Every structure is written in C-alpha cells, then in structure tokens.
A and B are shown apart, each in its own frame.
Chain A
C-alpha cells in the first residue's frame, strides 16, 4: 500500500536521470576530474612523479615535458598538493575515453594546459612509454 503511494507520486514527477551523454553531466565544481599542468611554472623537481601512488607521471627534464597515463591516474590529488610551484591543477570534468592506449604529454613547447596525445603500441594497456620499451 505504501509503495502504491510512492509509485503514484513518481508517475507525476519529472525523471531524476539525465540523458547523458547528450546532456552534460552536472558535476560539482569541487569534483576531482583530471590533472592539468601549467608547464611555464614547472621547475622539474620530480616531486609529483615520486609522490604519485600509481606511477602515472613521468617527468622529463631534458625534453621539458610531463607525461601522464590517464588510465592509471586515480585522481587522488597528491601531485597537486605536493607541487611547490602550483603547476598542477585539478579540473572538474573527466578526460575523454580512449579507444587505444595513449598518454598525454604536457611540454614547455606547448601553451599552458595544452597537451599532445601520443598513441602507444596496441596491447600496452595503461603502461607508461618507458615500461613499453622495456618489454
């Protein structure tokens, strides 16, 4: 009987779900979506690389670049907190899903917050480029 009441009420309500992905997901501003580098600030101290619990980051001082395996990153915010120059920031929206193993490379040659996408050989899964060549 009590269920009948709530069923009737639900019948005249608007749906609570949204038509994702046609409608953008309503993420709160504080959401930990993905990490971004503002490379002009980076001093290549490698603290982010060392603190990352999943070894998702590799810092390359010679090439002035930061490589991140998005599939590995668990958005724990540790790298954002450890960075002495506030180079890394966490943005609310998620990165796009990949169809093949890729890494995102932020480098000083690119504008801040921009990255290029590099494809890894098939079957690399969420390995970093250096781990792939080690195989």
Chain B
C-alpha cells in the first residue's frame, strides 16, 4: 500500500476569495482525506462588539460584508428580545425586504463565484451584471451598497417613500426575467451540468451529522429554514423553502438560484404589506438580561446571544455564523472526488471565512 501524498490548498489560492487552508491527502488524482484549518482571519470581533451596545449596531455589520444586514438585524432582534419590545410592522416588513435583497446579492455572488471557479468567466460576469441591479436598489433604499446601516434597536432608520416602493417593484419586475435566463443556463448548460452533477455529494445523513444549515442542508434534503420561525415579517408572507435531494454541487447551486427567484416573490409580497405607520420606536434605558435570536442569513441559520448587564458595555456577545457550521462539511464532501474538483466543491458551500473566524 502506497502512502497517500499530502498537499496543502490555500490559505492563498486563486480559487478562494478568503484565506482557508485544506490539507489534502491524495492517492494519484483521488482525494482520500481532507483536513480543514481555519483561523487566518480571526479579528476578535466578539470582544470589540461588547464594548458599547449602541455602537455595536453599526460595527456588527462589519463581521461579514455579504450578509451584513442579517448580522445587524439579528443583533437588533436580540436587543429587542432583551428590552422585550415588538417593533412596528412597517419596520419589520422593510427589514424583510432588505434581507431578501441581500439574499439575492449574496446568492448571485456565490453563483458567479461558482461559475468562475469552473473557468466560466462569461457567466460570472453575467451574474454580476444582474447583481448590480439589486446592489443599486439597496443603495437607493439605504444609502450604501454593502453596509446598509438601516437596522437600529427598535426599528429601522430610513423609511421608504411611495416612490421608492414603486421603484423596488419595478426593479423586481426587471430582475425576474434576467434571473430566469440565468437559471436556464445553470440548469441546462451541458458543461456546467457535467462538471457539477454527482460531484462533492453530501448525503442526507452526513448533512445532519455535520450540522449543516441553509442552502447546503436544503440541497441535501434537510428541509430546515429559520424563516419558517416567522421572525421579522416572515410570518405574514407565503414562504416555500427550496429543497432538493441530490446533495451534490449542482443541487447546491440550483437551490441558491431558485432561492433568488423566490426572494423576488417574497419582496413583491412584502411590498403589498407596507402600510402607513411608524418605523421606529424609542427605547429607554440600558439593557439588562439575556437575549437570543436567530435569522436565516443567505448561508443559513445565524444565531446571536447577548448578555447585558445594565450599562453601555455588554457582558458577552456570542455570534454563531452559518459558515462556521457549513465550512467544515467540505471534509465530508471531498474524499472520493478528484483534485481538480476541490476548488469547486469548496466554493459550492459558499464559504465565508470572515464569518467563520470573526
């Protein structure tokens, strides 16, 4: 029996946008084992965030650039849980709209990145062109393309006027056929399908054992979606989680694509729910007690736990990000695959190292 060859992939690798390291054990071209090493991006955010709870609502967005709004929404919900207040309906609906917009931008980034990893630069640019429509829209609504800074404890900061509501509806109408075209390409393009089908399979049991969440779990047949809990305005709209059974790269990609299209449905439903009313309520006093909240970020369940001790400073703020649960599951997907598929499989879980390391 020959000893397997061990080679490192990363932390600097052209296929990865962020530093992660995989120690691969190879027999010829086949991967027989994989060990993940993380921690290249650790910034000690959890400590920095606990210094001043009022400033945290802005800083918490900096944990991750692609799901920034979900982080601030989760943090604000946690604080609202501590204060034991219910934010106005209009604020909830606008939060939901922003979260779904961000899901579209995040998934399109992941899809574009998947295409680029396969050398399909053309499709990558197409994804980013459609993504720009959504990016522009969130810029117009919130004032920034990435860090919306729209959630505050007790509601939202910037309201949408009637013109902006119409504009959002128009952009969604414009975006839908473009995304349907993209879906067509991802679903039926020969090269793509051959490259992704039956590659990096994560079976249902493995998905459960590795505690995966979000699109990775749903692509392996685990119907878990935190949006069904009905935080923000999700209990008022008709949510249908996208679930597939194959568990391969193709399924993960298609789940993301279908979720983008479903997000458009959800945004259109939310726009109908927008009634006149306040968007923010005043919150008095420093928080005391413990709070917990979960939201469904683009990558899956995002959990915040805050312990407040009645001052500006928080005792502890604990963030469990979805990528922290999803990224290790590549160790189950990689064995058995070919070396050339390693970047594709890793990218197909949509690894966000900023989130994972915090």
Q: Which A residues have a C-beta under 8 Å from some C-beta of B?
A: 1-3, 6-7, 10, 16, 27-28, 30-32, 51, 53, 74-78, 81, 90
Contact = CB atoms under 8 A, between A and B. Distances in A.
A51 B149 CA distance: 14
Contacts, number: 58
Nearest to A76: B58
Nearest to B141: A30
Contact of A53 (B55, B126, B136): B55
9 contacts: A2-B181, A2-B185, A3-B189, A6-B181, A6-B185, A16-B129, A30-B139, A74-B62, A75-B149
B54 interface: yes
A32 B144 contact: yes
A96 to B, nearest CB: 19
Contact of A31 (B126, B143, B147): B143
Contacts of B147: 74, 76
B235 interface: no
A79 B184 CA distance: 47
A79 B58 CA distance: 12
B282 interface: no
Secondary structure call for the B interface: helix
Nearest to B60: A53
Which of A31, A76, A90 gathers the greatest number of chain B CB atoms within 10 Å? A76
Nearest to B188: A2
B45 interface: no
Contact of A78 (B58, B126, B142, B181): B58
A131 B181 CA distance: 54
Contacts of A30: 139-143, 158
A77 B123 contact: no
B142 to A, nearest CB: 8
Nearest to B54: A51
A97 B224 CA distance: 45
Contacts of A51: 54-55
A1 B188 contact: yes
B136 A28 contact: yes
Nearest to A77: B149
A37 B314 CA distance: 32
Given A2-B181, A32-B143, A76-B58, 14 more contacts: A1-B189, A3-B122, A3-B185, A30-B139, A31-B143, A32-B149, A51-B55, A53-B58, A74-B62, A75-B143, A75-B149, A76-B147, A76-B149, A77-B149
A31 B139 contact: yes
Which of A3, A28, A77 gathers the greatest number of chain B CB atoms within 10 Å? A3
B195 to A, nearest CB: 13
A10 B130 CA distance: 13
A47 to B, nearest CB: 12
B157 A53 contact: no
B132 interface: yes
A6 B126 contact: yes
Interface in B154-187: 157-158, 181, 184-185
